[in-house]
Homo-oligomer: A and B are copies of this chain.
Amino acid sequence: MKEFDLIGRYFSEGGHQRKDVVVGIGDDCAITTIAENQQLAVTTDTLVGGVHFLMDAPAKSVAYKAVAVNLSDLAAMGAEPSWISLSLSLPEVDEVWLQEFVSGLYELTQYYSVQLIGGDTVRGPLSMTITAQGFVPPGAALQRAHAKPGDWLYVTGTLGDAGAGLDILQDKLEASGEERDYLIKRHLYPTPRVAAGTALRRTANACIDVSDGLLADLSHILRASGCGACVHVDRLPISRALYQVVDAKAAYNYALTAGDDYELIFTVSEEQRGNLETSLTSTNVKATCIGQITGHNGQLDLKLHNTPYKKPEKNGYEHTF
């Protein structure tokens, strides 16, 4: 199968151009070069309309999110993004929708100096698969399996905003004014923590991004590392907007279980803790210590003001399988 004219018409012009792309869109393959002494990071994520985004979501937001979730996976490995390939399935050709989609896509790729190097378009239900690639120096990738008992547990930014934004859009939660706009924006236009991810390469041991919810994603680190964790619910970073819209307990719930925030959860050894602030200074990203890794394999303890806190019943976004 070759790329349809669609790709040619809407995607081949414009967009960030990189010097390491020898052949871009329009041949059987893209051809790229890799700098010496770099390893390649590769990730693939699919978004399905009605599952991963609302069917009536703005096209710009859909493109933005499709790129962001992939760059977020690169960030979680400490990789610097370089290229993406896009496979787009559309029920029909809606030119206005496509133009907005392309503008959302290029806005993000331009900002992160990423080039669209190829793809495919097919007729089908609204969905898209992006494969994103990036570079990381040998041995520097932040792996899930590298958390160690005693490591301090951190998270970037604030948690729960995107989940609250989704609930607002679905009329499950009431909000107005600035708070409403802020929370919806956090859902529609997530920020991949690319600069923080690369900055953490030398400081963090393990890292993952929050796509399914803090508890769900942290449990991936714990399982891969054979560790446990203690999380202090009262230390969770929660935005002023979320606190304006719900009470503290509901805010904790969003922060623990809602997905799509695309913040980074990472662990830092006691020795590296002093370097953390320096590492993140240039990125303008705030990180908050929310607990510690323990030796209790697979056990995740929650505490509120140092007393046990009951885990919410819903562990994270219930995905399809």
A residues engaging B (CB < 8 A)?
Answer: 1-2, 4-6, 22-23, 26-34, 36, 39-48, 51-52, 69, 73-74, 76-77, 79, 83, 85-87, 89, 93, 117-125, 127, 129, 131, 133-134, 136, 138, 141, 143-145, 207-209, 211-212, 217, 220, 224, 319-321
Contacts and interface: CB of A to CB of B under 8 A. Distances in A.
A87 B44 contact: yes
Nearest to A320: B123
A39 B32 contact: yes
B77 A224 contact: no
Given A31-B136, A123-B320, 19 more contacts: A2-B212, A6-B321, A27-B144, A28-B77, A31-B41, A32-B42, A36-B36, A42-B83, A42-B85, A44-B85, A44-B118, A44-B119, A45-B87, A46-B120, A46-B129, A48-B89, A48-B122, A122-B320, A125-B125
A289 to B, nearest CB: 22
Q: Please state the number of chain copies in the assembly.
A: 2
B28 A319 contact: no
A248 to B, nearest CB: 29
A213 B217 CA distance: 46
B43 A29 contact: yes
A208 B129 contact: no
Given A129-B87, A320-B122, A30 B26 contact: no
Given A77-B28, A141-B29, A144-B28, A22 B46 contact: no
Given A28-B43, A43-B28, A122-B320, A1 B34 contact: no
A12 to B, nearest CB: 12
Contact of A52 (B1, B5, B43, B143): B1
A208 B69 CA distance: 33
A83 B44 CA distance: 13
A217 B89 CA distance: 22
A4 B319 contact: yes
